[in-house]
Amino acid sequence: MTANSINKSLHKKNHALDNPLEQLINPRSIAFLGASNNPMKMGTIQALSIIKDGFPGQFYPLHQTEKEVLGYRAYQSAFDLPEVPDLVMFVLPAHLVVEILEDFGKIGTKRAIVITAGFRETGEKGLQLEEKLKEVADRYGIRFLGPNCMGILNTSLPLNVTVLPFKGQPGLLGMVSQSGTYITQSLDYLAKKGIRFSKAISVGNEANLDITDCLEYLGQDEQTKAIALYIEGLKDARRFLETARRITPYKPVVAQYVGGSSAGARAGSSHTGAMAGPDYLYDGLFKQAGILRVHSVEELYNQGWVLATQPPLQGRRIAVLTNSGGPGTAMAHICNQGGLEIPTFSAVLQEAIGPHVMPFASTGNPVDLTVQLETSVLSSVLPELIMKSGEIDGLVIHGLMGEGFMKALYPHLTDLLGGISEEDLIGQFKVNMETPLSLPAKYGLPVIFSSFFGREDNFTAAYQDHNIPFFDGPEKAASGMVALHHYNLIRKLALEETNQLPPQSAAAVKIIQAALQKGQHLLDEHSSKQILAAYGVPISKDALAHNVEEAVAFASKLGCPVVLKGCSAELAHKTGHGLIHLGLESEAAVQEAFDSIIKAAGQEIPVLVSKMEEGKREFMGGMVRYPGFGPCLVFGLGGVYAEALRDTVFRIAPLSAQEAREMTTAVRSADMLQGFRGLPPVDKDALAGILQATGNLALLHPEIAEIDLNPIMITGSDPLVVDALIVLRNQ
């Protein structure tokens, strides 16, 4: 299945007009509660954003005493309105919202935005109030954002319900945020960076519409070319993953997650009541979903804007063009670290560049002009030579500047130039911007700029106004190119459907039910391995002995050396308790080990007799369930180093074959899977199959709480589960 077919399928199945956010973001009429003629009230400020920023529909303020609000006739209740509004907004005390929402439900309004705080995020009483709000909404079929949110921004309607004005033209970057700040207080900051939203949505407590609903809507929105997400926690990670998977093959998504630390989780909970999870789970979730992860809101905006405005990066070859060695080196370094190449230009291209730079300037890539006041060289001549050469896939440029530079020089030049005015000085350096601005589109290559001059410079302003990223630092420009590269890798991945679950194993069901009937919460190693084997997981050869004679017979059949292990659900952790004996080479050794295990256990227990497997590489795998995530799979370095080095990665079940293979190579110790110190390469497909089967098992048997496979020993090239433990959930 191609990205285009997924795109068409998504639009056909879930067209934006069918999304509950469509009417909320594109209403024809708005009823507003909380606005007055007092400019110091939050409701008034937000109502002014609707009125002053050009909303073309009907605006109906409601007020108990005022006859007119902000120049509009005011109504006392929903029942007095001249029509049923598409959308109702609340900026009222929390205790008033539920009753008034019910009034709007009775007249037929189906969409609402609840700006009001004081619900779940405040504690038990607030939670009860939020539940009442949800119940009323469900009863009348109302879909709403919030509570405790900052609303929306739709730059194409236009509609702004946030607290700060939106200035400028419609943009291309969609934003969903669990913090209202990042869609409203940031507007002036973003305007100075030339970054403009298409749609921006604050979700607040997500009592009804949540971040996944919004992600799905922006995935369908034609204006939105890339999506930025600010996340403090997810209620349903599996649904989020399924939605993101449908979007990321054709539309880039970048996310910042801040709930992974104890402090971040605590702050998120008090802020929006968000349910955070360990950082490593979200890291795995984003990789699995094809989402690019960033670690600051500045990166979120910057990289989101690059992804929204630039054509796909088709290869790794990047040209660096600069008027200063330091920024050029920094850009080359960041690009190279991110997996990009800075190839040396051919002799032909260097010869073409040479006449346009100083004799001592570097022409090989990076191209460093050093002293060069002729702006056309950096803005047009060299970029076009490089782009049309066919030797690069993208271009980063630092140092392009014009009027800003002259304004900075003016105080030193005015006397020397006979008292010339600043305006006249700048007028002597007027530049035709048509050619520089046309080059990126002409050659279809991504181009990203940086300069230390802001919008006071004509180059900065012109490029930003034409949706060409122009950042205030060379590293930011280079990081944008790296983001394009990482998204290109996502697009190139073979698109697989998630694997189909196999039938449930009757043998596994029998073992689990028998344990539950006995009140067991741990399965012994033998039972655990039987369940794994029922789903195709390769396990070590073993047999369960109930007396010393059976142990000797089994050892003889398996062939020495063998391992003996005490096998009891009550004695799950065997290491260090005298319950394991390794490398037994004779009948006498087996007899002695059996007696020793029974003595150490203090009771008659079965003993597992296993073939002694040899392998110099050990990994571990398993499954654990997390709230909101369901069964999560883990893979990493195993054996005695598992806890010390903590080289592990996590993914959400079920895994496709591709995802399982990627998981095995995502650990820091992945080089051990290759040919290593004379050892053959590991069969990665077989190793991935173990992880895939473990995920299937967890989904087919919800009674299982945890699965521990440690070690997964590599014998030759083949992975083999040598020890296993399954923990059952409390019923």
- List the domains of the chain with CATH numbers: 3-307 (3.40.50.261), 310-492 (3.40.50.261), 541-612 (3.30.1490.20), 617-728 (3.30.470.20)
Between CA 560 and CA 591 the distance in angstroms is: 13
pLDDT of the residue at 275: 46
**What is the 8-class DSSP label of residue 704?**
E
pLDDT tens across 163-195, in order?
Answer: 999 988 999 999 999 999 999 999 999 999 999
The pairing of strands 87-90 and 72-73 is unpaired
Q: Residue 384: its pLDDT value, please?
A: 96
pLDDT digits (tens, 9 = 90+) for 61-73: 999 999 999 999 9
pLDDT at res. 498: 59
Mean of the pLDDT values across residues 390-416? Answer: 88
Structure tokens that stand for 198 in this block: 């298409």
In angstroms, rounded to a whole number, what is the distance separating the alpha carbons of residues 225 and 252?
A: 8
Q: How high is the pLDDT of residue 13?
A: 41
The residue with tokens 């449908």 is 246
Q: Using a pLDDT cut of 70, give the percent of the chain over it.
A: 92
pLDDT in tens, 120-147: 888 999 999 999 999 999 999 999 999 9
Res 264 pLDDT > 50: no
> Which DSSP state fits 521?
S
When comparing pLDDT for 435 and 476, which is higher? 476
Q: Which of 49, 107, 100 is nearest to 82 (CA)?
A: 107
Distance CA(248)–CA(287), nearest Å, equals 11
Q: Inform me whether the pLDDT recorded for 6 exceeds 70.
A: no
- Whose tokens are 């033998």? That residue is 526
Nearest-angstrom CA–CA distance, 633 and 690: 11
| Bridge partners, 665 (sequence order) | none
Q: Looking at the predicted structure, is the pLDDT value of residue 265 above 50?
A: no
This prediction's pTM: 0.89
pLDDT, position 263: 43
* Alpha carbon distance 288, 194 (integer Å): 31
Q: What are phi and psi of 52, to 5 degrees?
A: -80, -25
Please name which of 135, 100, 124 lies closest in space to residue 114, comparing C-alpha atoms. Answer: 100
Q: Give the pLDDT confidence score for residue 409 in this predicted structure.
A: 79
Look at residue 416 and tell me whether its pLDDT is greater than 90.
no
Contacts of 359 (CB under 8 A, 6+ apart): none
β-sheet bridge partners, residue 270: none
Question: What is the C-alpha separation between 660 and 671, in angstroms, rounded?
Answer: 17
Measure the CA–CA gap between 701 and 723, rounded to whole angstroms: 20
What value does the mean pLDDT take over residues 290-306?
97
pLDDT value at position 403?
84
Which of 23-37, 267-281, 440-454, 585-599 comes out lowest in average pLDDT? Answer: 267-281
Interhelix angle 434-443/458-465, rounded to 10 degrees, is 40
pLDDT for position 8: 42
């939106």: which residue's tokens?
166
DSSP H/E element including 397: strand 394-398
pLDDT band at 432 (very low <50, low <70, confident <90, very high): confident
Q: Could you read off the pLDDT of 45-59 as tens digits, one per residue? A: 999 999 999 999 999
Lowest mean pLDDT among 12-26, 177-191, 206-220, 471-485: 12-26
Query: Would the pLDDT of 15 be above 60?
Result: no
For a pLDDT cut of 90, what percent of the chain falls above it? 77
Evaluated on CA atoms 571, 572, 578, 580, the torsion sign reads positive
* More confident position, 358 or 102: 102
| Average pLDDT score over residue span 322-346 | 95
